Amino acid sequence: MGGKNALIIDDDADLDEAVVGVIQSAFGYSGQKCSACSRAIVLDGVYDAFVNRLAEAAKAVVVGPPEDPETMVGPVIDADAKVRILRYGALARREGRVIHAADVGPLADKGHYVGPMIVADVAPSARIARRKSSARSSP
């Protein structure tokens, strides 16, 4: 399955639980952990329902300062990480269909904030499906 952390969503999965698992894994710690969910492999029978629920749930993810208890996604570690993530976001827009991209608004000028992005309909051969964003990689 490659080096990307994947969750597999089967036809008989509890989609509400699967959505919570993906949101928590992908966006907890601002996605800056080695076990962050980088991709969800979803079987055809539940694909549309799962994608719709995931996009809706992502709207509730709060981006903000880490000291705010409402915040789920704080700033990333440094300016280089922010630039790298934004480059992967641009690549994702070319290689898939963006179903959610959070705008960080005024936080963009107050730190290294990057909003969550969810991309659907990504081909298995796409770079964003195969490569991790790391300190040494570039899209």
pLDDT tens for each residue of 53-98 = 999 999 999 999 999 999 999 999 999 999 999 999 999 999 999 9
Give the pLDDT of residue 32: 85
pLDDT tens per residue across span 35-62: 889 889 999 999 999 999 999 999 999 9
Surface-to-core class of residue 68, CB atoms within 10 Å of its CB (0-12 exposed, 13-18 middle, 19+ buried): exposed
Q: What amino acid occupies position 120?
A: A
Burial of 133 (0-12, 13-18, 19+ CB in 10 A): middle
Q: Identify the pLDDT of residue 133.
A: 54
CA separation for the pair 120, 96 (Å, rounded): 6
Where do the DSSP E strands lie in 52-112?
97-101
Give this prediction's pTM.
0.86
Average pLDDT, the chain: 90
- Give residue 129's pLDDT: 85
